[in-house]
Structure 1
Amino acid sequence: MPVTETSLPTGTPPGPGPLENASRTLAAAAAAPADVRLTPRAKLILLLLCAAQFIVALDFSILNVALPVLGRDLGMGQADLQWAVTAFALPSGGFLLLSGRIADLFGRRKLFLIGLALFAAASVLAALAWSPTAFLAGRALQGLGAAIIVPTGMSLLTTTFAEGPQRERALGISGTLLSMGFTIGMVLGGVMTDVLGWRSTMGLLSAAGVAVLAAAPVLLTESRPQGPDGPQRARIDVPGAVTVTGGLLSLIYALSTAAAQGFGRPDVLVTLIAGVALLAAFVRVESRADQPLVSLPMLRRRTVAWGNLAGLTTFAMMSTVVFLMTLYLQEVLRLSAFRTGLLFGVQGVVSAFAGLVAPKVIGRLGARRTLLTGLLLQAGFTAALLGLGTGSGMWLALIGVTFASLGHLWAIISYGVTATSGVPDAEQGLATGLVTSSQQVGITLGIPLLSAAASAHIAALRAGGSGFADATLGGIKLGLGLDAALVAVVTLLVTAGLRTVRTTRRG
């Protein structure tokens, strides 16, 4: 029996339509006509939910520029610094889908509050850490809190805002802030580390989490799946939860460890094979489950499948560009954390502008063309970064990252429209859940995947006699080249897939 989502605002949702209709809908949302304007309470709820997503995005990147300082303070070796990122990425990516299903059982608002409380407390532990073990424990608990906050927050968003212009505007704002949070985290991390020390970054996250936690009970109401006879309790797909959580944990561990230690370690090979096997088993389990964690029939919709592939790719590859460019600016050009953060601040300003104009661009070009244009811009300006050198390159880095980010923001907002286009209202919760998963899995997997390749190449170049700067630049360029190539290939695939959708519907 299909499950519908409860929604606070009332209204008549538009019926399913092609991508062009979705584009016109988003353009109408940007114009904010009277019948879709948000009430003051709805604006506060949107601000609250976006703030929670923004804090999580900050946590993905705020420590990146602080890692060298953090390592010296806690006595962590260079090879161990990757665990500052991995300890957060493992639970945040591995438990994402399971947390969303548990929220269906016990209430999204309730679990959202639990996630916020856990995140804030874990941030305090990380800020006060007296040893590497205490710090990594705090990071892991932060990741678990994030895995709860993200799906429950997105579910609360989609059940609060009616399908159509309201929901699409809310999703656009949320996606933009999620991406901007990663960039702004780089800026804040650099400035705060230089001025106040790396512990202040964790303190900021804790304070922000407490502020959102204080406001959430006042603004949010409980939300559960709704059946024809009232609230409907979902069942946890235990085999699906075990296989997908185990698969993601294994895969993230393998890629993260390989980034620091290489692919030759036995534990890397074992967990890599186990991760692939468990995810394959997950697909089989979901095809037979009555209430699956991921709806495979939903993924057979071309707009959903190709839209989410584009979303996963743009998030994974852009987060990797920012990570690699941080390494370039600090390790090759020897810029301070403060100056590195300021350079990424320019990217943040352009990202904000791109998010503001994206609805108008979609209204003029359509969601499909805007998505493809954004992906092409991201791929092209990432490829331009291959011209970086060891003695200069700051301006090329600034221009390349900035305009790649502009394309990235356009891709984010248009893929959200694409991936929910033509989906019946009763299945919008599933569609938006997939959008959320694409974002988080992309951010989680991108950096370990390509930094593993970059690190291995750096080690090979150093073994061959190259100097530190030349070897580091060589590894960074390999990562950037793979990044640009992957985005370009996915752009071609999405172009072909969505062209088929358009042709079929017209025929």
Structure 2
Amino acid sequence: MPDQELAHRSRKSTLRIALIILQPSLVNFLSSFTNGVITVGLPIISRSIALPRELYLWPTSVCGLTSGAMLLLAGAIADIVGARIVDLVGIFLLGCFTLACGLSATGVQLVIFRAFQGIATSMHLPASVALVAAAVPQGRTRNIGFACLGLSQPLGFSVGLVVSGIMIERTGWRSCFYLAGGAMLVTAITAIWTLPRVKLEGQAVTGLRTLRRLYMELDWIGGMLASAGLAILSYVLAVLSADLQSIHSASTACLLAVSFVLLVAFPVWMHIREKAGKPALVPNALWKNTPFASTCVMVALSNGVCNSIELFSSLYFQEVQSRSILTTSLYLLPNLLTGVCLNMLVGSFVDRMPARWLVVTSSFLCILSPLGMSLVNPSWSYWYLEFWAQIFAPFSSDVLFTVGLIIVSDQFPEKTQALAGAVFNTVAQFGMSLGIGTCQVVSLAVMAKTESQESKEGASGESEHAAVLNSYRAVFFLMCGYMTICGFLAIFGLRKAGKVGLKRE
């Protein structure tokens, strides 16, 4: 009887841990699913709701902008008031604003609802990391949990790219948001029972004591400096990606200068806080930790390249090869399937291999993806290079999401795991803005230069097609450069990292 009771408790514990990992992973998946829908369906969506040309890219970029701007503050708040309540509120708001996106009657409404969707995401992401770190035992089980959190975002984006190609043609783009929003609200209700009731050391309970701790302990100034600096810089990149000529405007130059001043002021303020004996949001000493600093840079680069490959591959198939949305979605399917397999494998054996060689190998393998897309002839069969480019596309980001989250999480105390998740997701979100923004700037510049040369040479109707092709090839070469930097950073930055995700006694 005791043995049977022990086995029953073990099964119950395993099921509980599985639900703790599955629930936040599902929310990540559904949130990223809508990003994939926007990426593929933007031309149809913009025509449907008369989205002004000057706002054309905002449904794609504004969600990441507001999310990245609020992550650090949301993570710090979750560590004080409790990750569970912050996550519950974030999931519920995500469901509401996702449904609101589907109900948008104008382009401006869609942009506003997407902005609020990003704020709700910033509440969920760091809180989910804290809950998994607190409720799941250290070792391989937690590694798999972090792998699922890492997998769910690119997986959701990829599924959004594929499934929306079918749904938009059959049932319209709004149905995609209704599906995701409805599923999110159902998940929010079940989260009341599935989210663990963990209480980390030093967390307040409720009421006035919580408010007092929020006022006294939370570094509001530091959070606003970092958030405003990153938000403004991401905004400038989004503006430049829409119109390269805006670099000459006084407002763009001023905003760029302000963002740099704020980002430089952040470590200065951290030094002042530490000198005064007050808790710093991200202590400056962490940036002297080579594995931590290198991981943050690599996560930013890798996430930027991962999202850029999917976006520009989709555009390449549609605009250069004139493929339908459905065909484009199927062409991107190998990326999705490879990502699923990689994340499950990495979560299982990340503690058996040195992190350095895992990241180095995956980074250099990932280079083959943009390299293949840059060399392919549009008239060639999909199976010659494009298929293999999609196979290798997720290698770097899917490995780094697990390895990086473990490394970043290990550098923060147990009671600030939400902040650790916020730091990780902040650099990932900023990396996405940086990657897509710089790729779009390069694309616009090469396209303008090619069109200018073609017009001088008196070329006819094919000049526009050549300009688009050259611009995308330049973008894919830029991605190769980013991944090369990522690989060499891993060689030198992770040389002392050793194996990560080991169970501590």
Which residue matches 2:47? 72
Q: What amino acid sits opposite 1:86 in the alignment?
A: S
Tell me which of 172, 194, 202 is aligned to 2:147. 172
What is the Cα deviation at residue 301 of structure 1? 2.2
Which residue matches 2:316? 328
Which residue matches 1:401? 390
1:39 aligns with 2:14: yes
Q: What amino acid sits opposite 2:296 in the alignment?
A: N
The 8 Å contact of residues 144 and 348 in structure 2, kept in 1 or not, is answered as no
Which residue matches 1:484? 480
The 8 Å contact of residues 113 and 216 in structure 1, kept in 2 or not, is answered as yes
What is the Cα deviation at residue 247 of structure 1? 0.7
1:121 aligns with 2:109: no
Structure 1 residues 414-437: Cα deviation after superposition (integer angstroms, max 9, x where no partner): 333444568775676654443333
Per the alignment, in what secondary structure is the counterpart of residue 63 of structure 1? helix
What is the Cα deviation at residue 54 of structure 1? 1.6
The 8 Å contact of residues 52 and 107 in structure 2, kept in 1 or not, is answered as no
TM-score (norm 2): 0.85
1:204 aligns with 2:200: no
1:376 aligns with 2:364: yes
Q: 1:351 to 1:295 in 2, by over 3 A?
A: same
Which residue matches 1:341? 329
Tell me which of 464, 467, 478 is aligned to 1:471. 467
Per the alignment, in what secondary structure is the counterpart of residue 334 of structure 1? coil
1:258 aligns with 2:247: no
The 8 Å contact of residues 256 and 449 in structure 1, kept in 2 or not, is answered as no
What is the Cα deviation at residue 361 of structure 1? 5.5
Which residue matches 1:456? 445
The 8 Å contact of residues 378 and 404 in structure 1, kept in 2 or not, is answered as yes
Which residue matches 2:375? 387
What is the Cα deviation at residue 101 of structure 1? 1.6
Which residue matches 2:297? 309
Which residue matches 2:69? 94
Mark the runs of 5 or more structure 1 residues left unpaired by the alignment. Answer: 1-33, 503-507
After TM superposition, list the pairs within 5 Å mapping 1:218-229 onto structure 2: 218-223=193-198, 225-227=200-202
Structure 1 residues 332-390: Cα deviation after superposition (integer angstroms, max 9, x where no partner): 11111111111112221121122222245545543221111011111233222211334
Structure 1 residues 92-139: Cα deviation after superposition (integer angstroms, max 9, x where no partner): 111111111222333322222221222222122211111111111111
Q: 1:86 to 1:415 in 2, by over 3 A?
A: closer
What is the Cα deviation at residue 284 of structure 1? 1.4
Q: What amino acid sits opposite 1:68 in the alignment?
A: P
Mark the runs of 5 or more structure 2 residues left unpaired by the alignment. Answer: 1-8, 456-462, 499-505
Q: What amino acid sits opposite 2:438 in the alignment?
A: L
Report runs of 4+ in structure 1 exceeding 6 Å deviation.
34-37, 228-232
Per the alignment, in what secondary structure is the counterpart of residue 201 of structure 2? strand
1:151 aligns with 2:133: no
Which residue matches 2:161? 186
Q: 1:222 to 1:364 in 2, by over 3 A?
A: closer
1:412 aligns with 2:398: no
Q: What amino acid sits opposite 1:272 in the alignment?
A: L
Which sits farther off after the overlay, 59-68 or 265-274?
Answer: 265-274
The 8 Å contact of residues 108 and 222 in structure 1, kept in 2 or not, is answered as no
Q: What amino acid sits opposite 2:366 in the alignment?
A: Q
Structure 1 residues 314-338: Cα deviation after superposition (integer angstroms, max 9, x where no partner): 1111111111111111111111111
The 8 Å contact of residues 304 and 431 in structure 1, kept in 2 or not, is answered as no
Q: 1:136 to 1:163 in 2, by over 3 A?
A: same
Q: What amino acid sits opposite 2:430 in the alignment?
A: V
Q: What amino acid sits opposite 2:365 in the alignment?
A: L
CA distance in 2, matches of 1:446, 1:211: 34
Number of equivalences:
469
TM-score (norm 1): 0.85
Which residue matches 1:136? 111
CA distance in 2, matches of 1:229, 1:344: 46
The 8 Å contact of residues 94 and 121 in structure 2, kept in 1 or not, is answered as yes
CA distance in 2, matches of 1:497, 1:201: 41
The 8 Å contact of residues 299 and 397 in structure 2, kept in 1 or not, is answered as no
What is the Cα deviation at residue 163 of structure 1? 2.8
1:247 aligns with 2:229: yes
Structure 1 residues 425-467: Cα deviation after superposition (integer angstroms, max 9, x where no partner): 5676654443333333323432123222212322332343372
Which sits farther off after the overlay, 263-272 or 489-498?
Answer: 263-272
The 8 Å contact of residues 29 and 152 in structure 2, kept in 1 or not, is answered as yes
Per the alignment, in what secondary structure is the counterpart of residue 131 of structure 2? helix
CA distance in 1, matches of 2:348, 2:112: 44
CA distance in 2, matches of 1:427, 1:101: 7
Which residue matches 1:270? 254
What is the Cα deviation at residue 219 of structure 1? 1.9
Structure 1 residues 121-178: Cα deviation after superposition (integer angstroms, max 9, x where no partner): 2122211111111111111111111111111222222122133333222111211222
Per the alignment, in what secondary structure is the counterpart of residue 332 of structure 2? helix
CA distance in 1, matches of 2:41, 2:241: 18
CA distance in 1, matches of 2:86, 2:345: 34
Q: 1:455 to 1:78 in 2, by over 3 A?
A: farther
1:493 aligns with 2:475: no
1:434 aligns with 2:423: yes
Which residue matches 1:237? 219
The 8 Å contact of residues 90 and 120 in structure 2, kept in 1 or not, is answered as yes
Identical pairs, percent: 22
Which residue matches 1:280? 264
Q: 1:472 to 1:266 in 2, by over 3 A?
A: farther
